[in-house]
Amino acid sequence: MYNVAVVGATGLVGREMVSILESRNFPVKSLKLLATSRSQGTIVQFKGQDIVVEEATPNSFEGIQIALFSAGEKGSKELAPFAVKAGAVVIDNSNAFRMEPDVPLVVPEVNEEKLREHKGIIANPNCSTIQMVVALAPLHRRFKIKRIVVSTYQSVSGTGREAVEELWEETKNILEGKPITPKVYPHQIAFNLLPHIDIFYPNGFSKEEMKMVNETRKILDDQSIKICATTVRVPVFRAHSESVNIETELPITPEEVREILSKAPGVVVVDKPEEAVYPMPIMAEGKDEVFVGRIRKDESIENGIVMWIVSDNIRKGAALNAVQIAESLIKLGLI
């Protein structure tokens, strides 16, 4: 049994972490819930008990063995070192440490063995990266992927609770003929698409797009893969979708892809387009798996495959992956 802390416990991902710890019967001896001073005193239920959320401070981690962080980049950089110093293993959901050379960036179905290299902090990848590599890793092992072109259709929950509320409010106001004033996003998100997630770099790509490029190479342990990403925010409440085109060194067929992915951990193949059966956000919401469909040959190149990948960004894309990392640490005897 382990003393566990959840940092950012009142946010969308933090609450999901608490729920997943309970539903997966994680061996929790004690659970400490931490957040900013604004959320101090909030009550969160865990296994039928009311737990009072405390303010997260550098002194919050005494006796904690596992600290699940969903505190944003700033909060993680400020507090994670104190948690490590107190003896905890930090599993961080932010971008703070992902590209640090000595910090493992882990998706358990893909590179669980990297956990053996941790020095106190383990990074949870970006949500859109996680679902893509779960599907692509088994194909990369078999056929060696040379190039990935991905376009994402990302739900507003990826931005947080305020964005979910903004989509609800905008939709309601538009249907009632009332004016809207975007606050979270630079433009209206209801009935609209925004090809804009995070800041833009001088090369014209957004931070979100470059996360997918850099994180995918690190997780697959292959810097030679050419990757081009376009990330788009869509008026969907939960679950991200991705159109993924891969080019491989070895010959590859849709039939082989379906066979391999049907046996891959964490993947469900949903691929009968002639019967209008394919992955959709409403199918993935609240589910743990990565759903893959629309698997077809890219006829414009010799060894190419196109597929459609959908997963719940709050679960597998964030909270579940973090808890799975903790489970892997226990399984491997690393904690």
The HSE-up count of residue 269 (CA atoms within 13 Å, CB side) is 18
Q: What is the per-residue pLDDT for 128?
A: 97
**325: its two tokens:** 């990392």
Q: What is the Rg, in whole angstroms, of the alpha carbon atoms belonging to the chain?
A: 20
Q: What percent of the chain has pLDDT over 70?
A: 100
Query: pLDDT digit string (tens) for 167-194?
Result: 999 999 999 999 999 999 999 999 999 9
Average pLDDT for 281-308 = 97
pLDDT digits (tens, 9 = 90+) for 63-103: 999 999 999 999 999 999 999 999 999 999 999 999 999 99
* Residue 51: band (very low, low, confident or very high) from pLDDT cuts 50, 70, 90: very high
Query: Which residue is catalytic, options 118, 127, 140, 196?
Result: 127
> What's the sign of the alpha-carbon dihedral 230, 236, 238, 242?
negative
Residue 335: pLDDT over 90: no
pLDDT digits 0-9 by tens, 93-135: 999 999 999 999 999 999 999 999 999 999 999 999 999 999 9
Task: Name all domains of the chain by residue range, CATH numbers in brackets.
Answer: 2-125+318-331 (3.40.50.720), 129-313 (3.30.360.10)
* Catalytic member of 187, 196, 228, 240: 240
Does the pLDDT value for residue 143 go beyond 90? yes
Largest separation between any pair of C-alpha atoms in the chain: 59
Tallying the residues shown for the chain, one arrives at 335
Closest CA to 307 of 264, 277, 278, 274: 278
Instruction: Label the pairing between strands 121-123 and 43-46.
Output: unpaired
- Tell me the per-residue pLDDT of 203-253, one tens digit each, with 9 for 90 and over: 999 999 999 999 999 999 999 999 999 999 999 999 999 999 999 999 999
Nearest to 56, CA basis, from 80, 85, 88: 80
Nearest CA-CA partner of 33 in 12, 7, 58, 15: 7
At residue 263, the pLDDT reads 98
pLDDT value at residue 322: 97
**Beta pairing class for 304-311 and 290-297:** antiparallel
- Give yes or no: 127 in active site: yes
Neighbouring C-beta atoms of residue 141, cutoff 10 Å? 12
Predicted TM-score (pTM) of this structure:
0.94
Active-site residue, 187 included: no
| DSSP per position, 102-170 | TS-B--HHHHGGGGGG-SSEEEPPPHHHHHHHHHHHHHHHHH-EEEEEEEEEE-GGGT-HHHHHHHHHH
d(CA 75, CA 11): 13
Amino acid at site 219? I
Instruction: Tell the burial category of 59 from Cβ atoms under 10 Å away from its Cβ (0-12, 13-18, 19+).
Output: exposed
